[in-house]
Structures are given as structure tokens and as C-alpha cells.
């Protein structure tokens, strides 16, 4: 069509019969495409007994409906109410099963977790992020081997254990020092916390650290941020990759690819530096461990190749940076807008920890209200609205529905974390819901911000450590407040639904408690 338009506008003498011929060819091709899609639809509907769902439009499916509300959670709740806890959506031409509510999620991903432990074929966003090879995307034996290697290796370097606390505390101190430099002036929390969280992963992955003013690392973090907040799992181009060839960059695919190349170049550079300096007798970090594994395996049959290597490292950086930075940013919003809650957390920290040292993991069990606040931040902000898609390893039956092998299944985490039957008043920010009458912490089964089952978040233990240490130190050292003369409202900042659910940019002030 672009060629036709060019000929018509720049060459007025263009033969109209040729123009009609090209239109006829395009119409024929479009008709064939619609026919194929219709056949696919009826094949899935009749050969398999899929769950019910809304009517869909050829090519675009239900995308238009899903994007009709600024907040996708509203539309998902309507669909659940109308069609039940398991329903079918067409995202582009692809049928997708959505699973809602804790009972259905528990039944499918815990009780029948082995049957639903695969990933569907890698979508365009996952290909952009990790080439479809990282721990997030792979299935079967490759996933099992990768997951085992990652967990064993990272645990050797202190992953999820107090052994790592010293390195996290080093980053916490630098984080607090950077906030101090704003000198009570308004700033965006996402900037300093993103660099600090990235540095914790850096310690584990390549045994290094970047200064907060390192330009190369800043560009890397900006690239991660752009990717995660501009890749939507429900976008039309995700399910119709051919749209990336549309002239211009209407779907931002070209920009996303450039950002991804920045990250890929950075990771490959780190790998090459480690390969040159590799010493089998001195395995200091994850990259060293992977190089050692590569040298011990047959390159023709192993998954321990440079391609898988780079993809895994990118997955670790993305997951380990964005989860922490987005959660701490949400926490800073609630602290700045709920001074009563912030004051109660500070008083608890002051009574148990004092102000001579930073809070530590040994204080975690004693800081009950602080932990309850963090849990409520994770529940309320729900940074992963819909979990990474799963797929059945073979044809399966779910509650009377027949689902084919490999079909994409979306677990709707928000349907659990915002369920009135579980939480009573899920729309209210209320940390007290996680504290019982005896003053001890409650941990409901339905609290699944990191998902559940065989493919829950591999970095959950590290994430919980970091979130606690960063937030407790932040409240101990600073009083967070809105910008003078302005108010912060959840309606104004809630609404970036990309790879994670992040707040729109906002400013706060940090007043040093020691200066008072």
C-alpha cells in the first residue's frame, strides 16, 4: 500500500488499471488471510473445547476491548465476572486462556503444575528481550537444567541468604548517600533505586560494582527501564509480529530493538572480559561459573553456550533490577502520602533498631508492621498484573475444557491480590490486614505477588531481602514528603502497564531525620 500511495501522489500519470490490479491482489490476499484465521478459529473451537469468552474480530482479536480502559485490570475483572475464572481471549489471531482467582490458579499451577510448566512459543517481546533463550522463556529439560544451575551457582555466592547481606548493605548506604545529595529538593525515586538494585545483581553476576554517576551504567539502566515499560504482553504486535515491518516506528519496535542492543552489547562485553581473565582456580561470580561449565560440556549438545549465557544474564538483570526498583518506588509513594503509616514504621524501627546502625535481616522478624507495610505495597501495587504465560506440556482437560498443547495461558495475579472475598476491602491501603490480634505477621496463601507453583519467580528470596533492607533503611534515615504545595494522588500516578505495572513519574522530598 505504501508503494501504491507513492505512485499516486508523486506520479499522477500512474496507470489506474494497474492500481486496481494491485488493489485486487491485496484484497485477495486479505481475504485468504481472513479465511485462514476463520479456519483456525473454528478448528480451535470445535476440535478443542475452549473456555467461553467474548466475541473477537479477525486479525485483532479482543485487543481493542482490552485497550478501551486505561486500566486493564478493570476490563479483566469484567471478563472474569461474565465468563468465570477460566475464559478465552483472542490476542490478535491467537487464542489465549486466562486463569483467575486463587482456587483456579492453585488447581492448575500447583496441583497440576507439571502439566502446565512449559512456556508457549516465544513472543516478539521475549525474542527482543532474550532471544527466546533465557530462563524466563525456555521449557522442558532446558528449563530444568538452567534453573538448577542458576540456583546452585547463585546460592554459592550467597543468593537468598544472609551471606549476601553485606553487599546489599553496601548498596543501601550508597543509595542513602545519593538521596542525601538532593538536599530536600524534589527527586524521582526510580533513578537512585534502579542503579542500586542493578548493582546488587552486578555483584552476583560479574563480581563488580558501578558508581551511580557511571554514564555507561546509566545508559544501561535507562535501556532496561524503557524496555520494561514499553513492552506490553497484550499489545497487538506481540501476537502479529509482521506488524513490525510497518513503515515508521508506530509500535516502537525499532526503538525497543536499539535499546535491547545496548543491553546485549553490555552483556557481551562483560562476558568477553571474563573469558580473557578466566582462571579455573578462582571462580568469583556467576559469569566465571558459567564459563567453567561451558568448558566442561560438548558444544554440540549442551545448553551451556554463549547465546544461552547472554540470555540468562539479561534475564537476571531485568528481573533483579525492575522488581526491586518498581516496588521501592511504589513504597515511597505510599510513605509520602500516608504519613500516619510512615510514622508508625519509623517508631517501630526506632524502638527495635535505633539509629546507630542500619536495619538488618536479623531485625526482620521483629519489625512486624514494617513487613506488613511491604506486603501491602506488593499486594496493592501488584507490579505483575498478569504472570509470564504458561503452556500445557500436552493436550489437557481443565474443568471440562479441552486445551491443546502449547496454547498460551495467562495467570491473572491481580484477580487474586484484589479479590474482595479474600481481602474484604482490597481497594484500601491497609498494612494491618497482615497483622493478627497477637501482633504477629499473617501470611495468607493468597498472597502471591511473586506467583506460585513450579515456575514462580526464581529471584523471590533475593527480592524480599533487598526490598526489606532498602525500605527499612529509607524510613529510618529520611522522612518522605510530597513536593511543597503539591499533593500526590493514586489516580494521577497509577497507570503504566508494560512489562511491569509501574507508577507514572512523580516527585517526592526526603527530609533527613538526623538534621531535625
pLDDT-wise least confident of 65-69, 192-196, 445-449, 499-503:
65-69
pTM metric for this prediction: 0.85
Confidence band for 97, pLDDT divided at 50, 70 and 90: very high
- Could you tell me the pLDDT band of residue 237, with boundaries at 50, 70 and 90? low
CB 287 within 8 A of CB 205: yes
- Measure the CA–CA gap between 461 and 223, rounded to whole angstroms: 25
| Contacts (Cβ under 8 Å, ≥6 apart) of 185 | 509
Mean pLDDT for 56-60 is: 78
What is the Cα–Cα distance from 330 to 280, expressed in whole angstroms? Answer: 43
Q: What is the distance between the alpha carbons of residues 224 and 406, in angstroms, rounded to a whole number?
A: 29
d(CA 192, CA 177): 10
The Cα 353–Cα 355 span in angstroms is 7
Distance CA(516)–CA(509), nearest Å, equals 15
- DSSP helix/strand/coil, 158: coil
Q: What mean pLDDT value characterizes the chain?
A: 83
d(CA 75, CA 130): 30
pLDDT digits (tens, 9 = 90+) for 400-459: 999 999 999 999 999 999 999 999 999 999 999 999 999 999 999 999 999 999 888 888
pLDDT at residue 16, rounded to an integer = 38
Cell of 437: 490480634
Contact 56, 62 (CB under 8 A): yes
d(CA 305, CA 455) in angstroms, rounded, equals 23
pLDDT tens per residue across span 272-325: 888 888 888 888 888 888 888 888 766 555 677 777 878 888 888 877 888 899
Residue with the larger pLDDT of the pair 516 and 424: 424
Residue 472: count of CB within 10 angstroms of its CB: 26
Q: pLDDT (tens digit, 9 = 90+) per residue, 28-56?
A: 545 555 555 554 555 555 567 999 999 98
State the Cα–Cα distance between residues 146 and 303, nearest whole angstrom.
Answer: 8
Residue written as grid cell 525492575: 322
Q: Measure the N-to-C terminal CA separation of the chain; round to a whole number of Å.
A: 67
Which pLDDT belongs to residue 30?
52
Residue 280 three-state SS:
coil
Instruction: Give the per-residue pLDDT at 241.
Output: 60
At 210, the pLDDT band (50, 70, 90 cuts) reads confident
Which is more confidently placed, 83 or 205?
A: 83
Residue 454 to residue 461: CA distance in whole angstroms: 15
Span 141-145, mean pLDDT?
87
Which residues line the annotated binding site for heme?
457
At residue 245, the pLDDT reads 67
Structural domains in the chain, CATH included, are: 48-512 (1.10.630.10)
pLDDT in tens, 455-508: 888 888 889 999 999 999 999 999 999 998 888 888 888 877 777 888 999 999
Q: Are 239 and 91 contacting, i.e. CB atoms less than 8 angstroms apart?
A: yes
CA distances to 136, 140, 188 from 117, rounded to whole Å, are 11, 8, 38
Q: Which of 37-46, 255-264, 360-369 has the highest mean pLDDT?
A: 360-369
pLDDT at 219 (0 to 100): 84
Residue 227's contacts (CB-CB under 8 Å, 6 or more residues apart) are: 128, 129, 256, 259, 260, 263, 318, 499
Say if CB 372 and CB 425 are below 8 A apart: no
Residues 6+ positions from 104 with CB-CB distance below 8 Å: 85, 86, 399
Q: Residues comprising the binding site?
A: 457
- Categorize the per-residue pLDDT at 3 as very low, low, confident or very high, splitting at 50, 70 and 90: very low
Q: Are 201 and 471 in contact, with CB atoms under 8 Å apart?
A: no
- The answer, yes or no, to whether residue 168 has pLDDT greater than 80, is yes
Amino acid at each position: 500500500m505504501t508503494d501504491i500511495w507513492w505512485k499516486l501522489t508523486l506520479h499522477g500519470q500512474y496507470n489506474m488499471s494497474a492500481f486496481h490490479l494491485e488493489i485486487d491482489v491485496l484484497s485477495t490476499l486479505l481475504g485468504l488471510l481472513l479465511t485462514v484465521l476463520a479456519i483456525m478459529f473454528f478448528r480451535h473451537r470445535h476440535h478443542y473445547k475452549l473456555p467461553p469468552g467474548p466475541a473477537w474480530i479477525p486479525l485483532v482479536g479482543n485487543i481493542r476491548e482490552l485497550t478501551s480502559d486505561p486500566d486493564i485490570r478493570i476490563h479483566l475483572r469484567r471478563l472474569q465476572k461474565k465468563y468465570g475464572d477460566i475464559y478465552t481471549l483472542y490476542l490478535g489471531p491467537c487464542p489465549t486462556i486466562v486463569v483467575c482467582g486463587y482456587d483456579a490458579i492453585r488447581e492448575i499451577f500447583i496441583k497440576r503444575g507439571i502439566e502446565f510448566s512449559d512456556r508457549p512459543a516465544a513472543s516478539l517481546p521475549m525474542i527482543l528481550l532474550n532471544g527466546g533463550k533465557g530462563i524466563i522463556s525456555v521449557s522442558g529439560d532446558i528449563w530444568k537444567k538452567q534453573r538448577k544451575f542458576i540456583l546452585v551457582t547463585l546460592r554459592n555466592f550467597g543468593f537468598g541468604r544472609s551471606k549476601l547481606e553485606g553487599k546489599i548493605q553496601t548498596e543501601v548506604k550508597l543509595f542513602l548517600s545519593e538521596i542525601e545529595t538532593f538536599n530536600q529538593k524534589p527527586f524521582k525515586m526510580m533513578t537512585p533505586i534502579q542503579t542500586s538494585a542493578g548493582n546488587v545483581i552486578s555483584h552476583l553476576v560479574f563480581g563488580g560494582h558501578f558508581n551511580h554517576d557511571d554514564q555507561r551504567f546509566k545508559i544501561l539502566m535507562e535501556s532496561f527501564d524503557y524496555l520494561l515499560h514499553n513492552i506490553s504482553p497484550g499489545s497487538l504486535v506481540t501476537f502479529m509480529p509482521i506488524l513490525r515491518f510497518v513503515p515508521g516506528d508506530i509500535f516502537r519496535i525499532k526503538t525497543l530493538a536499539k535499546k535491547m542492543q545496548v543491553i546485549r552489547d553490555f552483556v557481551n562485553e562483560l562476558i568477553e572480559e571474563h573469558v580473557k581473565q578466566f582462571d579455573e582456580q578462582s571462580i568469583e561470580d556467576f559469569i566465571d561459573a558459567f564459563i567453567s561449565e561451558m568448558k566442561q560440556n560438548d558444544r554440540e549438545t549442551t545448553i551451556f553456550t554463549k547465546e544461552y549465557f547472554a540470555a540468562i544474564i539479561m534475564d537476571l538483570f531485568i528481573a533483579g533490577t525492575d522488581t526491586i526498583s518498581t516496588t521501592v518506588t511504589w513504597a515511597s509513594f505510599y510513605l509520602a502520602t500516608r504519613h500516619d503509616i510512615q510514622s508508625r514504621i519509623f517508631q517501630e524501627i526506632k524502638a527495635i533498631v535505633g539509629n546507630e546502625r542500619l536495619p538488618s535481616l536479623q531485625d526482620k522478624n521483629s519489625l512486624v508492621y514494617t513487613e506488613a507495610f511491604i506486603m501491602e505495597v506488593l499486594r496493592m501495587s501488584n507490579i505483575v498484573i498478569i504472570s509470564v504465560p504458561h503452556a500445557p506440556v500436552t493436550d489437557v482437560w481443565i474443568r471440562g475444557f479441552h486445551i491443546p498443547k502449547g496454547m498460551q495461558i495467562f495467570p491473572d495475579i491481580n484477580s487474586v491480590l484484589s479479590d474482595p472475598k479474600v481481602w474484604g476491602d482490597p481497594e484500601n491501603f491497609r498494612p494491618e490486614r497482615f497483622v493478627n490480634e497477637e501482633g504477629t505477621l499473617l501470611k495468607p496463601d493468597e498472597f502471591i505477588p511473586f506467583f506460585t507453583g513450579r515456575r514462580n519467580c526464581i529471584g523471590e528470596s533475593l527480592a524480599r531481602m533487598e526490598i526489606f533492607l532498602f525500605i527499612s533503611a529509607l524510613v529510618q534515615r529520611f522522612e518522605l514528603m510530597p513536593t511543597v504545595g503539591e499533593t500526590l494522588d493514586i489516580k494521577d500516578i497509577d497507570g503504566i502497564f508494560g512489562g511491569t505495572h509501574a507508577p507514572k513519574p512523580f516527585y517526592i522530598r526526603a527530609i533527613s531525620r538526623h538534621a531535625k
